[in-house]
Amino acid sequence: MSDVLPLTKYHQIYLVLHEQLQEGRFADGMPAEVVLAQQFGVGRVTVRRALEQLVSEGLIVRVAGRGTWPTPGQGLRPTGPLGQAVQTRPTRLTGLMENIVSVSRHTTVKVLEWRTIDASAAIAEALQIPLGAKVKKAVRMRSSQEGPLSYITTYTPEALVAGFGRRELAVKPILQLLEEAGVELGRAQQTVSARQADAVVASELGVAIGTALLAVRRLVFDINDKPVQWLHGLYRPDRYEYQMEVSQVGSIDARISVREQQSP
What CATH number corresponds to the domain at position 112? Answer: 3.40.1410.10
Our count of domains for the chain comes to 2
Spatial contact of 60 and 51, defined as CB atoms under 8 Å apart:
yes
d(CA 70, CA 27): 7
251 and 137 share a domain? Answer: yes
d(CA 141, CA 239): 13
Residue 54 lies in a domain: yes
38 and 169 share a domain? Answer: no
Residue 77 lies in a domain: no
220 and 159 share a domain? Answer: yes
Residue 195 lies in a domain: yes
pLDDT tens-place string over residues 139-196: 999 888 888 988 999 999 999 998 888 999 888 888 888 988 899 988 888 888 888 8
188 and 214 share a domain? Answer: yes
CB atoms within 10 A of CB 38: 14
pLDDT band at 238 (very low <50, low <70, confident <90, very high): confident
93 and 178 share a domain? Answer: yes
Residue 204 lies in a domain: yes
d(CA 249, CA 33): 52
Residue 81 lies in a domain: no
d(CA 202, CA 163): 32
**Mean pLDDT of all residues belonging to the chain:** 78
Q: Whole-structure pTM over 0.75, yes or no? A: no
115 and 199 share a domain? Answer: yes
pLDDT band at 133 (very low <50, low <70, confident <90, very high): very high
137 and 170 share a domain? Answer: yes
66 and 98 share a domain? Answer: no
230 and 161 share a domain? Answer: yes
198 and 126 share a domain? Answer: yes
**How distant is the alpha carbon of residue 218 from its chain centre?**
9
pLDDT tens-place string over residues 4-54: 445 678 887 887 888 777 767 787 788 899 999 998 888 999 999 989 888
Q: Does the CA dihedral 201-202-204-205 come out positive or negative? A: positive
97 and 222 share a domain? Answer: yes
Kindly state the percentage of the chain with pLDDT values over 90.
20
CATH number, domain at 21? 1.10.10.10
| Residue numbers of the domain that contains 30 | 9-70
**How distant is the alpha carbon of residue 97 from its chain centre?**
18
Q: Write out the E strands in 71-209.
A: 87-92, 108-118, 134-144, 147-157, 185-196
Residue 104 is given by DSSP the state: H
Residue 78 lies in a domain: no
pLDDT tens-place string over residues 19-29: 777 767 787 78
Q: Write out the E strands in 59-146.
A: 60-63, 67-70, 87-92, 108-118, 134-144
238 and 193 share a domain? Answer: yes
